[in-house]
Chains A and B, each alone.
Chain A
């Protein structure tokens, strides 16, 4: 029902824009790659999540409806 953030780990190059734009749900590991919280995006953060998706230079972040 909810939407989840998913990273395409092949496309991701560790730019770090997503963690800057959505620190509530995305943190960076010690190598600069995103750790995305495995929970549905809360309603209040939907817009920020879309901005984070748009802000990724590699288009590696996606907001998907989870099966």
Chain B
């Protein structure tokens, strides 16, 4: 009786922290896009957008850790410690959990490189940070496949909201990137803007 109760508690904890992790990761991705494009949130100064992006990512790591530990500790399903980081090493639902493991690996890489940012080349840091765009969809697919939660009710609603928010942010970024002038053309662009304005004088 006790075993089943604690197992259920662990299982619920894993699913709940999983949902929260996904929410937090979504916030991190959207905030990351805002930082990159120098976008702002109403009432928030620029340093806060960066600060939120960084702090929420650490919070996400905390929830991710609990999500993984409770899933491993739960005796009801066989998920070894290795399965947390090694893709497809789990006995239980190897595909879906494997995608989660890859996502976790990418998140770990992002966090570790960001903590050691001052010690690496800018190019290397940027290249690895781009993998954030892979970690998020992997987490979403992992969520959908790992448990039945995502297919109904509140959790489905949360999932849809996360997907919409990220899609909107990414679309915004792509639209801006399409209009962005390459570095070599920046001065020329500024010159035509200024000349056009003066011509109107």
A interface list, Cβ under 8 A from B: 11, 13-18, 20-21, 55-57, 59
- Across the interface, which residues of B come within 8 angstroms of A13, CB to CB? 38
Are B117 and A59 closer than 8 Å at their CB atoms?
A: yes
Query: Which of chain A's residues has its CB closest to B38's CB?
Result: A15
Cα-based distance from A21 to B45 in the complex (angstroms): 10
- Are B38 and A20 in contact, CB atoms less than 8 angstroms apart? no
Work out how many contacts link A and B, with CB atoms closer than 8 A.
28
- The secondary-structure label for the interface of chain A is loop
Interface centre among B47, B117, B122 (most CB of A within 10 A): B47
Chain A residues with CB under 8 Å of B36's CB are 57
Complex contact A15–B46 (CB within 8 A): yes
Q: For the complex, is B35 an interface residue (Cβ under 8 Å from A)?
A: yes
Chain B residues whose CB sits within 8 angstroms of the CB of A14 once the complex forms:
38
Complex Cα spacing A11 to B117, Å: 14
* A20 CA to B117 CA, complexed, in Å: 22
Interface residues of B in 34-51 (CB under 8 A from A): 35-36, 38, 45-47, 50-51
B122 touching A57, Cβ below 8 Å: no
Q: Residue B175 at the A interface, CB < 8 A?
A: no
24 pairs, CB–CB < 8 Å, chain A vs chain B: A11-B122, A13-B38, A14-B38, A15-B35, A15-B38, A15-B46, A16-B38, A16-B46, A17-B45, A17-B46, A17-B47, A17-B50, A18-B47, A20-B45, A20-B47, A55-B47, A55-B50, A55-B51, A56-B50, A57-B35, A57-B36, A57-B50, A59-B117, A59-B122
